[in-house]
Chain A
């Protein structure tokens, strides 16, 4: 069974909310559905992992760079004013994608491989195949987009 067939928006939303409640916000309810209307991610940062089914499926996370900074500070339990290094932002954002991808992988009936996370300012979805679930969230008022698609 492909990832896209096995995993819908409700599953993605539940996993994302569990990750944020346990490891980012350390309380539930702060990652919410994006209110109606389009979510525009300005100055985006992307993180993704690929699940080794055939065709391979990508689990991608996107948010704006300032929100990725705030995510890293929250993940690392740093204060709002504490400077966070670019390496820390890349590592933290990639780890969120890794945990997301691993939990999506666990929903599949068969074992598939999981790649190490990658992070880039360039949109990796140029090779996008079939579209799967997309979940739009608001975190501290900024959009955070999770998309599944084949590559």
Chain B
């Protein structure tokens, strides 16, 4: 499976991609929502996008709305991975079309559990 990791922090992209790699995902990275949309528009396809909220150029919520506005990307699973932990922000992201929400800080196990919930991973695949 292919994942797109979207975060303005290179450190966080590295960590998320590393965890996903250990779970069998191949990852590409983008530093903001606009870069991520460019990758999608270039024809690259992904099963999962892990999306930070606060980013320059295009934030995560704008990215989610842009993806949900296009039928061709309707199968892309969108998971917010963000410091925005208030309940209201979680509701906003889910209402905009995100499927799951992970609040930083998180452990590899927490991320894997969300992927199981999303049906992208089976329980026995979690190390």
A contact set with B: CB distance below 8 Å? 18-19, 21-23, 26, 72, 75-77, 87-88, 91-92, 94-95, 98-99, 101-103, 105-106, 108, 111, 114, 116
Contacts and interface: CB of A to CB of B under 8 A. Distances in A.
Contacts, number: 69
Interface residues of B, number: 23
B18 A98 contact: no
A108 B11 CA distance: 27
B54 A106 contact: no
Contact of B106 (A22, A92, A111): A22
Which label, helix, strand, loop or mixed, suits the secondary structure of the A interface? helix
A102 B104 contact: yes
B85 A106 contact: yes
Interface of B: 8-12, 14-15, 18, 54-56, 82-86, 88-89, 103-107
B89 A23 contact: no
B105 A88 contact: no
A90 B11 CA distance: 10
B83 A101 contact: yes
B40 to A, nearest CB: 24
B9 A98 contact: yes
